[in-house]
Structure 1
Amino acid sequence: MTEAGVDDVSFSAKIEPSGTTVLRLLSPSLAVEPGIGNPHPGALILIEDSLPEPWRRLPDPTHEARPASSADPELLKRTLRERLPDAIGATEEEIAAAEARLGVGLPEELKVLYRVTRARWEDWGDDYEMADGVFEAVRCELSSVDDLYIAEASTRHCRWEHAAMEAVVTRPDAAVQGVVGSPGWIVFGENGGGDQLAVDLTPGPRGHTGQIILLSHEESVGAELLADSLTDWVLDRETHERRHRREEPPLVAHVNHASIKSVREAAHPGLEVLSIGVWDGA
C-alpha cells in the first residue's frame, strides 16, 4: 500500500454460517468518491476531474459597480495608526508581490490596511497580546500580506452528491452574488469561528465594490454581507443584507413518493436542479 501511495482501503465482508467468507476490496479511484462512514462508494464521476455545475459558474460582470460612499482610505489609515502605533507595515514591493501572486490588484482600502500592518507573526515576536491587539483593531484574525488568497470555487470543497444539488442564483436586489466562489473575493482574515472574511470586487446588483463579506464554513454557496466598505467594518458600522422571503417555486425540486409527485409538477422556468427519487411500488 505504501508503494502504491494508498493510505487506506475500503472493504466489505460476507460471512456465511458455515464460515465461508467473501471479502471485497474497494480500491480508490478518481472516478468514484469514497463513502462516508462505510465501505460503499459514493458518487460515480463519469468524467475524471469534472465539477458540478454550480462549481463551474462564474460571477456576472459588474462593470457598473462602484465603491460605497463610506469608503474613506484616509480615515481608515488614521484610525488604524491610532490603534496600532507600533505595527510594521508592508512595503510597496510586498504589496505588489501579493498582487502579482493573486493576479488581481488590491483595492485601496486593503492596501491602506497592509501599509499599516503586514500582520506577520514574526513581527509580533510570539507576543499573543500584540496579536490580540491587531485582532481588536481590525475586528478579525488578520491574515498576513503573504497569505491573502482568492476564494474561488475550488477553495470550497463539497462532495459531488451534495454539490450537484446546490442552486446558484443572484436576485436582482442582492448585494452579494450567489456563487460558490469568485476571482474577486480576496480573503484577508477569519472571524475566529472558522468563517472567512473577504473584500468583494464582484458584488451583486445592489452591492458595492470593496464591500466586506463573510464566507461561512457551514455553507458552500454565496456569502453574507457584513459592511459596505472596509472603513465601515473597522469602525464597526456593519450592514446586514435584508433577505426577503418570496413565494416562488423552489430552485431545487425533489420528485419522489414523499414530495412532488411528477416532473411536470416540478418544472418551471427558474428550476435549477431536479432530483428524481423513489416512487411507491417502483
Structure 2
Amino acid sequence: MADQEFSTASIDDFATWEPVLRLLLAEEAQEHVARSVRVAGRIGRESWSLPLTQPVPPPGRASQVEDMREEFDAVERVQHALVDAGIDDVSFTAETEPTGTTTLRLLGPSPAVEPGLGTPHPGALILVDGSIPEPWRRLPEPAPGAEPAPSADLELLERTLRDRLPHAIGATEEEISATEARLGVVLPDELKVLYRVTRARWEDLGDDYEAAVRESAAVRCELFDLDSLYVADASSRYCRWEFGAMEAVDTPADAMVQGLVGSPGWIAFGDNGGGDRLAVDLTPGPRGHLRQVIMLSHEENVGAALIADSVTDLVLDRPSAEPSSPRGQRPPPVAHVNHASLKSIEAAAHPGLEVLSIGVWDGEPFSLAPVVGLPRLRTLTAYPGTLADPLQIGELAGLEFLELGPQEWRVLLDAGAVPRSLLAAAIVVHGNQDPLPIVALANEILALWDRPQIIQTVLEGDLGHLS
C-alpha cells in the first residue's frame, strides 16, 4: 500500500510534503500559536536535513529505526517523488498561518548550484560551467630521473604469491591486455605478476569468505579484480567546490610522493579494508621511486602516503627503505586567520599564499591590503563582519573562489565590484536565517554570469489550525 502511495506522489503536490511539514510544525506550533510559523529544510535522494528533535530512547536501550519511523516515512515519500521527477536534492521553506493556511516554496534545484550541506541554504554557486578548483586541475610534475626501487623483484614476488596462493586462478594475458586497453595505460610488471597469480574474482573463491580473507592477507590488501582497476586521477576524488577551493597542492623538493589530488600515473589496485585506496605510482615525487606503492586516504582530498617502495616490498611486508626526510620550514600555501590561529593578515601574507581563510574574530575587522598583489592568491573566505572594507576584494586580481556573508556580498553587488575572475562563490549563513533572501542574493550573483537561476515553486495547502 505504501509503495502505491509513493508511486502517485508528485514533487509539486502539496500532499507529498504534508507529512514532513506536520512533523516540523509539531515542534514549532507550541511556541507560535498566535502568529505564523516558518520552517525550512532540505531533502535529497540519499540524505536529508530537518530541524527535528530526535527522540531519546529509554535508559539502557539504543536508538532504533522505529523511534524515528514517522520521520523516515515522511521523508521517504518525498524521496520517491524526487526520483520520479529526476531530481537529486531540493530545499524548501514553508510559512504557516495560525489558521493552518500554508505557503510552501521549493527552492531549486539549479545545475549551477551545489546543494547546501546540512542546510536549506544554497551551497557553492558554479559561475563558470564545468569549472573545478585549482588543485583538481593540477597535473604531476615530470620525474625523468625516477627509477624503480632495487627491491622490486619479479621472480621473488611471483614465487612468494604462488606459495601463499597455490590454488588461485590467475588472469590470462588477454584479460590483462583488455584491462590495459580500458585504462589506456600499460600495467607495471609487478602488477602483471600479481594478477597472473590471482585475478581476485569473488566467483573464483566459491563465495568463500574465509578464502577471500586469506587472499587479502597473502597480497597485503583487498585486491581489486581487473575490471575494478582504475586510474586515480583528480576526477576520481570528488570534492565539493567550497572544500576543494580550500586545498593546495604542495610537493617539497624532498617529497617521496607528489602532493596531488590525483594523477594519470596512479593506478589504484586495492583497498586497505578501511576505504583507503592503494595505488602503484608512475609519477613519483622528487625523491620517490617509480612504481612505488602509495595510499590515498578516504579522509583527505589531496596527497597520498608512501606505503612501500615496490609491490614486492608490499607483499613481503617490508617498510620503505627511504623515508622522507624532514621538510624545511616554509610558509604554507593555506593560511587561517582567526582567534585560534594567525592573528593578522600580515602574518599570513607571502608570495606563495594561495588560500586565505578569515574565521571567527573578536577584534577590529581586517584590511586586505597586505595580500593585495600576491601572485597566487585564488581563494578568500571571510566570516561575516571580519572585513574592514569588502571593496578591497576588487584589488585581488586572481580570485577564483570567494565566500562571504550576505552583507559583504551586498556591498560588492551594489558597487558592481564582484570580481569577474571568479569561477565559483558561496554565501556564508549562520543560524536559522530565512532561506528566501539568501536565494535571492545567490540569484543576483548567478545572473552576473548568466547562469541558471534557483527556481522557486510555490505550493499552497491547509494543515489545519495550529494548537
TM-score bracket relative to the smaller structure: over 0.9
Name the counterpart of 1:198: 279
**214-223 or 30-39: bigger deviation:** 30-39
Aligned residues: 282
Question: Which whole-Å CA distance do the structure 2 matches of 1:174 and 1:142 have between them?
Answer: 27
Name the counterpart of 1:181: 262
* CA 1:16–1:241: 2 relative to 1, 3 Å: farther
- Which ranges in structure 2 are unaligned for 5 or more consecutive residues? 1-10, 12-82, 357-379, 389-467
* CA 1:256–1:45: 2 relative to 1, 3 Å: farther
Shift of 1:119: 0.7
Name the counterpart of 1:225: 306
- Structure 2 residue 94 is the aligned partner of structure 1 residue 13: yes
Provide, for residues 142-164 of structure 1, a one-character-per-residue CA deviation record: whole Å limited to 9, x for no partner. 11112110111111111111100
Name the counterpart of 1:107: 188
Name the counterpart of 2:245: 164
On the 8 A contact 1:211/1:230 being kept in 2, the answer is yes
On the 8 A contact 1:256/1:276 being kept in 2, the answer is no
Shift of 1:209: 0.8
Name the counterpart of 1:129: 210
Question: Which whole-Å CA distance do the structure 2 matches of 1:235 and 1:97 have between them?
Answer: 28
Name the counterpart of 1:145: 226
Task: Give the match's secondary structure for 2:228.
Answer: coil
Task: Give the match's secondary structure for 1:231.
Answer: helix
Provide, for residues 58-78 of structure 1, a one-character-per-residue CA deviation record: whole Å limited to 9, x for no partner. 111122111000000010000
Question: Which whole-Å CA distance do the structure 1 matches of 2:162 and 2:218 have between them?
Answer: 10
Instruction: Output aligned runs, 1:89-100, within 5 Å.
Output: 89-100=170-181
Shift of 1:19: 6.6
Shift of 1:269: 2.0
Name the counterpart of 2:456: none
* CA 1:20–1:245: 2 relative to 1, 3 Å: farther
Task: Give the match's secondary structure for 1:78.
Answer: helix
Shift of 1:213: 0.5
Shift of 1:178: 0.2
* CA 1:30–1:70: 2 relative to 1, 3 Å: same
On the 8 A contact 1:195/1:216 being kept in 2, the answer is yes
- Could you say which structure has the higher helix fraction? 2
Name the counterpart of 1:249: 331
* CA 1:68–1:217: 2 relative to 1, 3 Å: same
Provide, for residues 23-42 of structure 1, a one-character-per-residue CA deviation record: whole Å limited to 9, x for no partner. 33211112111011121111
Name the counterpart of 1:50: 131
Shift of 1:121: 1.0
Question: Which whole-Å CA distance do the structure 2 matches of 1:259 and 1:140 have between them?
Answer: 39
Larger gyration radius, structure 1 or structure 2: 2
- Which ranges in structure 1 are unaligned for 5 or more consecutive residues? none
Alpha-carbon RMSD: 2.2
* CA 1:18–1:129: 2 relative to 1, 3 Å: closer
Question: Which whole-Å CA distance do the structure 2 matches of 1:23 and 1:255 have between them?
Answer: 40
* CA 1:112–1:281: 2 relative to 1, 3 Å: closer
Question: Which whole-Å CA distance do the structure 1 matches of 2:185 and 2:175 have between them?
Answer: 14
- Structure 2 residue 382 is the aligned partner of structure 1 residue 277: yes
Shift of 1:53: 0.5
On the 8 A contact 2:254/2:325 being kept in 1, the answer is no
TM-score where L is the length of structure 2: 0.57
Amino acid at match of 1:140: C
Task: Give the match's secondary structure for 1:54.
Answer: helix
On the 8 A contact 1:254/1:276 being kept in 2, the answer is no
Question: Which whole-Å CA distance do the structure 2 matches of 1:254 and 1:112 have between them?
Answer: 47
Amino acid at match of 2:355: V
- Structure 2 residue 186 is the aligned partner of structure 1 residue 118: no
Amino acid at match of 1:248: R
Kindly, what percent of the aligned residue pairs are identical? Answer: 69
* CA 1:14–1:254: 2 relative to 1, 3 Å: farther
On the 8 A contact 2:254/2:324 being kept in 1, the answer is no
Shift of 1:242: 3.9
On the 8 A contact 1:196/1:215 being kept in 2, the answer is yes
Question: Which whole-Å CA distance do the structure 1 matches of 2:230 and 2:89 have between them?
Answer: 32
